Structure 1
Amino acid sequence: MTALPQDFCRLPIAHRAYHDLAQGRPENSREAIAAAIAAGYGIEIDLQLSSDGEAMVFHDYTLDRVTGEAGDVDARSAAALAAIPLSGGKAGIPTFAEVLAQVAGQVPLLVELKDQDGRAAHAPGTLEARAAQLVEGYEGPLAFMSFNPRMVGRMAELAPAWPRGLTTCAYEGEHFAHLSAEEKAYMQALGAVEPTGSSFVSHEWKDLTRDSVQALRARGLPVFCWTIRTAEEEAEARRHADNVTFEHYPAALPA
């Protein structure tokens, strides 16, 4: 297990960077990243693959919700994606390399690898390999995480010097109906934490009181949570978590 820098627990983490469409800062945009750095927040971003295997900073599998284009992200080249403006902003979709250069170690950077294993465009491990390549020589607090334990395990092999963690939740509802009873129990027990060498978990905030989550915290493993949207939610979440991932309000910075 690679130790997590203390600033990941000290500074609130801006979800998809410090985005605010009313201020011209779309999620996962250069503008939102600049605003988070200026405010002194940590930053969470998401990675997807382009058709030519570049790591792009973008949350969804499709372009429709946050751009004026439609279709799969991994059906477009990095150059084509970079030319697509994010709705409400001026700049195109950034590459991970561009964001690394922009952040340059000024604040903690929490990088979520979006699950690629069920997609046909690239072989499993392609995103992990590219992300690991890009962070070689990076200086500053950075950590990787994913909902997919296999991807976290691959990062342990490809980039062992960087902390890694699991993005986790209650594993309830239609989205997890495909899980067998045994698989669901394993995920709810956070059984993948030790096999992946995870240094932290980022858990669904409304499920923070789950015994398995609090047992990890009692052992000293940092517990983050997602996604906090009001100061009142933050106050409640901090009773059970070491830090928050937030959006839509200015989280309080430490004195």
Structure 2
Amino acid sequence: MRCIAHRGFAGLYPENTLTAVRQAAAQADMIEVDVRRCASGELVVFHDETVDRLTDETGAVAEYTAAELADMDIDGSGEGVPELSAVLEAVPPDVGLDLELKESGLIEDVREAVKGADVDVWLSSFDTDVVARATETTDVPVVLIVDDASEAAIERAAGLGCAGIAPHWRLIDFALIERAHRSDLAVYAWPINDIDRAASLQKMDVDGIVAEEPTACTGD
């Protein structure tokens, strides 16, 4: 079962920062980060649409330049919002990177950004239009994140050419996993923050967990 560090183990480190990425790289098989575009055009790594929750500033990420975002203080950590290029450089070759695309219009630039990267990259999104564009224009695996566990959701992911489907852990049962695997879809559960739940999912043959802390993966 693959261990994927949610926002760089956001339960332990300042989420989506270079520190989180570097720390998670020593403890996870893959790191999940969120990608948006900022006002100056660069791709930056930040989850929310606005900077309000994690910084002392207010307003949309899309209203700030990369330099302005880099000067912000994420959750009191002293670190700013990193560009995707810096995150790609921080991930070692033996650790994968799951880029969750938070908005449309990113695929072409993401494809260029990862072209020369020495790291295995996946793309993921809740947005079916984004996922469709990703599967049509890239060769990297794409995962559809879903908030329902219906047969239609599995058919949608398979029809889009996805490599996997990522439901909330509460939606996962043996039937869902069996249906997904029959459609050649891996199943990734999120968000996981305790070892007992992780162990239960592993017994159910889940392919990976998107974990808040490394203890969910290791039991330490």
Q: TM-score, normalised by structure 2?
A: 0.89
For 1:152-197, what per-residue CA distance to the aligned partner results, in whole angstroms no more than 9, with x for missing partners?
11112332x21111011228xxxxxxxxxxxxx78x5333213321
| Corresponding residue to 1:18 among 9, 29, 40 | 9
- Alpha carbons of 1:134 and 1:245: their partners in 2 closer, same or farther (altered >3 Å)? same
Aligned partner of residue 161 in structure 2, secondary structure: coil
Establish whether residue 55 from structure 1 lines up as the match of residue 43 from structure 2: yes
Aligned partner of residue 32 in structure 1, secondary structure: helix
Matches within 5 A, 1:16-55: 16-20=7-11, 25-55=13-43
For 1:177-227, what per-residue CA distance to the aligned partner results, in whole angstroms no more than 9, with x for missing partners?
xxxxxxxx78x5333213321011111100012745530124442101100
| Corresponding residue to 1:128 among 102, 107, 114 | 107
Structure 1 stretch 142-151 or stretch 188-197: which is displaced more? 188-197
- Which residue matches 2:145? 167
Displacement after TM superposition at 1:98 (Å): 0.6
Aligned partner of residue 47 in structure 1, secondary structure: strand
Displacement after TM superposition at 1:239 (Å): 3.2
| Corresponding residue to 2:124 among 124, 129, 145 | 145
Displacement after TM superposition at 1:238 (Å): 2.2
Aligned partner letter, 1:109:
L
Greater share of strand: 2
Establish whether residue 79 from structure 1 lines up as the match of residue 67 from structure 2: yes
On the 8 A contact 1:144/1:164 being kept in 2, the answer is: yes
Residue correspondences, number: 218
On the 8 A contact 1:230/1:249 being kept in 2, the answer is: no
Q: Which runs of 5+ in 1 are unaligned?
A: 1-9, 117-123, 172-184
- Which residue matches 2:194? 230
Displacement after TM superposition at 1:20 (Å): 4.8
Distance 2:124 2:71 in 1: 27
Distance 1:137 1:236 in 2: 38
- Which residue matches 1:177? none
Distance 1:16 1:169 in 2: 19
Greater share of helix: 2
Displacement after TM superposition at 1:237 (Å): 2.3
- Alpha carbons of 1:210 and 1:54: their partners in 2 closer, same or farther (altered >3 Å)? farther
Aligned partner of residue 46 in structure 1, secondary structure: strand
Displacement after TM superposition at 1:40 (Å): 4.1
Establish whether residue 157 from structure 1 lines up as the match of residue 121 from structure 2: no
Matches within 5 A, 1:72-221: 72-114=60-102, 116=103, 124-125=104-105, 127-159=106-138, 161-170=139-148, 188-209=152-173, 211-221=175-185
- Which residue matches 1:5? none
Distance 1:224 1:129 in 2: 25
Aligned partner of residue 189 in structure 1, secondary structure: helix
Aligned partner of residue 39 in structure 2, secondary structure: coil
Aligned partner letter, 1:189:
A
- Alpha carbons of 1:190 and 1:100: their partners in 2 closer, same or farther (altered >3 Å)? same
Aligned partner of residue 203 in structure 2, secondary structure: coil
Distance 1:210 1:38 in 2: 31
Displacement after TM superposition at 1:19 (Å): 3.3
Establish whether residue 250 from structure 1 lines up as the match of residue 215 from structure 2: yes
Displacement after TM superposition at 1:249 (Å): 5.0
Displacement after TM superposition at 1:102 (Å): 0.8
Aligned partner letter, 1:34:
R
On the 8 A contact 1:19/1:247 being kept in 2, the answer is: yes
Q: Which runs of 5+ in 2 are unaligned?
A: none
